[in-house]
Structure 1
């Protein structure tokens, strides 16, 4: 098809997906934006960093099956990585383009790696902002430590007791998430309280709810080899963006991915936690555009952006 700016509801593998195209007049390789969650949506991104990117790039948003404005699958079990890969394959076929760039944030960064591994000849460049490794133990350990670092005395006491009582890592992870309140989650995800408030306002304004189904399905899935063991085979140029205060996926995960990705650069944002796109929006956009335009790429040690 000939790409035209606008919003669409397109059927991918029997499910109607919400898709939005902006910046077609820029005539660039399409940059597909992949949201996180799992089970999130693009409502906030398309009102913050997205419009700035679309000033000079062709942007394609889409929301994953059962997420945001996209319809749900008939079965609550149909949220596997394999099915998300098949949906992406159909999306790219619908777009009718030879190659695309990928920008995935949070769990979307993990998906971007999966897509790049699955379709090595069809993905040009990849950008990972605070990427996750949902099925890894390191992800759970980072989050538990993150909540310990921002929690009040009662939360820290509870986590200490969980550890002393020899609960499994999985049990501690679940107990901590069930215990924390909204204010603690905001402190966990953001360094700037004003931005955290803005983000929560946009969440409420969107009226889009994360059911948690995708998260549970993916965490419980054991299909295929772990992503960590396959990252080294992903050869595209990759930019990894990480906030130095990221307590959700954290520097350990971004560093692990950077170490394994053979053609990657890691840039640290010194005023951000999990969402540099919100806490340092202009810098976030500028770094991405420089990378896509071949004006910034240095493999090797992390680069601190202040």
Structure 2
């Protein structure tokens, strides 16, 4: 689909008119949905129509000719996707950064979102900073690497840390089950897709929001499901728990054998929790 002048890769599974579609909003920034589509998608497709799409400049979507990336434009891309699909409302499943984007869309278009699912998204702010730096320290294999991580975090922030860690450390950071990490790596290589870093670099230059996103989301009485792995060192359990507490109509589910990708590490439990939420079943006591 051509959205705001950029050709976006979109895949629809199921009949859109058979129910409110579940739209998967990938993370990164700059990631893609290839692995989710293959590992977890088939389980969710049993629940109703599913829409996979990749953001501008990401995955199989084209890069914008003008090089423009910003959150308001990404939100409008998502709105133009909805209009192009001719659906009145969506259920958004936002993964990591995709959760922030899904929350931004929900605040901008609350009447268009039936339910919201945030996976590994704590909506970090001044009082709830992301625990990623401490997480990288925890999984580092040597004192030398820990020292390099601390120096990078102090001098350049998240992007600098990602530049000093090796693949082994990154996989320990992202995955709790090594065999799942290897499988996702295989799918990434199979896809031939890469995160160019272009979107992340552009978003890093944006001015901070005038008001915390969590505050604006908390003003909406919208059903929200917050999902996080117990070993998620990126979002962190505490920020996800506290976000759930802030929101008026939210529930939290913690996966005990997962890190940042519970959809891949515990797919059956993941699909069951999403199914219960979509069906309106009460949260387990």
Partner of 1:99: 89
Task: Answer whether contact 1:107 1:134 (CA < 8 A) is retained.
Answer: no
RMSD: 2.1
Displacement of 1:248 after TM fit?
Answer: 1.2
Which of 152, 155, 160 matches 2:141?
152
2:180 aligned with 1:195, yes or no? yes
Query: What 5-or-longer segments of structure 2 have no aligned partner?
Result: none
Task: Answer whether contact 2:218 2:248 (CA < 8 A) is retained.
Answer: yes
Displacement of 1:172 after TM fit?
Answer: 4.8
Matched residue pairs, number?
283
CA distance in 1, matches of 2:36, 2:53: 12
Post-superposition Cα deviations, 1:47-101, rounded to whole Å, max 9, x if no partner, equal 011111112311011111111111111133x110000011011111111111111
Structure 1 residue runs of 4 or more that deviate by more than 4 Å after TM superposition: 134-140, 167-170
Cα gap change, 1:192 to 1:178, in 2 (>3 Å): same
Task: Answer whether contact 2:175 2:261 (CA < 8 A) is retained.
Answer: yes
Partner of 2:132: 143
CA distance in 2, matches of 1:12, 1:211: 21
2:78 aligned with 1:88, yes or no? yes
Task: Answer whether contact 2:6 2:64 (CA < 8 A) is retained.
Answer: yes
After TM superposition, the structure 1 = structure 2 runs for residues 56-75 of structure 1, keeping only pairs within 5 Å, are 56-75=47-66
Displacement of 1:228 after TM fit?
Answer: 3.4
TM-score (norm 1): 0.86
CA distance in 2, matches of 1:132, 1:215: 18
Which of 226, 230, 234 matches 1:244?
230
Partner of 2:25: 34
Post-superposition Cα deviations, 1:153-189, rounded to whole Å, max 9, x if no partner, equal 22223345x3xxxx87462544422210011100000
2:190 aligned with 1:205, yes or no? yes
Query: What 5-or-longer segments of structure 1 have no aligned partner?
Result: 1-9
Which of 261, 275, 285 matches 2:261?
275
